[in-house]
Structure 1
Amino acid sequence: MRRLLDFLYDAAAALAALFMLGLLCMVLLSVVSRQLDFHVPGTDAYAGYLMAASGFLALAHTLRRGEHIRVTLLLNALPGRMRNALELWALSIATLLALLFALYSCKLAWQSHAFHDISTSNDATPLWIPQLAMALGTVLLAVAFLDELLLQALGRRSAANSGAALRNE
């Protein structure tokens, strides 16, 4: 199960990187088209879709790598049992919020499909298509938070060590 979850998180991160490359291509196409006096319709809208997709799909991977922002000042000051209790509480709340976010983003994509909702820009993209990336990303984030919560409850969660605290500017 661990290998499957890690594969899902890594695959979503790879897909996010691919969408980030697509975003770069859209921005470059937009810049080049302005310089050469031609217009490619929809580049701004697709750049926005690709940016959102890359951000949402990277959330679970970022969580598992310990790169999300954490306020550890209080956590580091607490003794073992209190620290564990606070970690469990925080992960429980985060899991609940992530599950709600996943539920509503999936519902949004479903409703956009059911109502044939399209983009208001000139590309007229069916909105459920770019919303799928948000739904998938939030579902994976909820799974990742549930994974972290279960690991913490079982005492098998490794401490998040991103090294960010060591990089002082």
Structure 2
Amino acid sequence: MKNIRRALEGLYTLSAVLAALCLIAILALILIQMLARWTGEVFPGAPEYAGYAMAAASFLAFASALNKGAHIRVSIALNAAPSALRRWLEVWCFAVGSAIAWYFVWYAHRFVYWSWKFNDVSQGQDKTPLWIPQSLMLIGATIFAIALTDHLISLIVKGEHRITRDPEHPE
């Protein structure tokens, strides 16, 4: 079990690092586009690439944000519930969240597959095959679904999830 936990934590950390690299890529694209404008050159596709990196950064950061308690949760309602009912409400919330996340992964997988199958490309000047940025979204969504399922299993087996709370922003 410790190896699985270590692998999952490594996956969540890797996903957060990739999200941070996507943010750095957005910064670099903005700087390159500014330099291109100042020199009278054109950098075709820069806004599209920045958009792809923003979508990838968002989806890749979901699991890490969940583990750190950065997502908006239903904690106000859960804190108002009696302690005997609270655990079952948390299980229900994680179960519904996991089901929705896995449905999104299934749907996104089909979306990426058909974009690849039909060789769908962006409409901008870059002509990027859309399955490439969509794949990053799919990877991030899959890791997020794994994280939700991980917390659900932990809640069912151990009686508590593993979301850490930020001491500066208590519930």
Normalising by the smaller structure, the TM-score range is over 0.9
1:79 aligns with 2:82: yes
User: Deviations for 1:36-59, whole angstroms, at most 9, x for unmatched residues?
Assistant: 211111111111111111111111
Pairs within 5 Å for 1:1-169: 1-154=4-157, 155-158=159-162, 160-163=164-167, 165-166=169-170
User: Deviations for 1:9-50, whole angstroms, at most 9, x for unmatched residues?
Assistant: 100110111111111100111122112211111111111111
User: Deviations for 1:129-163, whole angstroms, at most 9, x for unmatched residues?
Assistant: 01110000011111000001001111142454123
CA distance in 1, matches of 2:23, 2:91: 34
CA distance in 2, matches of 1:158, 1:12: 17
CA distance in 1, matches of 2:90, 2:14: 27
Change (3 A) 1:146 1:159: closer
Q: What is the SS of the residue equivalent to 2:169?
A: helix
CA distance in 2, matches of 1:88, 1:158: 13
CA distance in 1, matches of 2:20, 2:28: 13
RMSD: 1.5
Q: Gaps spanning 5+ residues in structure 1: where?
A: none
Aligned residue type for 1:161 = R
CA distance in 2, matches of 1:162, 1:114: 44
Normalized against structure 1, the TM-score is what? 0.93
Normalized against structure 2, the TM-score is what? 0.92
Q: What is the SS of the residue equivalent to 1:165?
A: coil
CA distance in 2, matches of 1:131, 1:45: 13
Aligned residues: 167
Change (3 A) 1:159 1:64: closer
Q: Gaps spanning 5+ residues in structure 2: where?
A: none
Aligned residue type for 2:51 = G
Change (3 A) 1:91 1:159: same
Once the 2 structures are TM-superposed, how far is the Cα of residue 166 of structure 1 from its aligned partner? 4.5
**Which region of structure 1 is more displaced relative to structure 2, 67-76 or 20-29?**
67-76
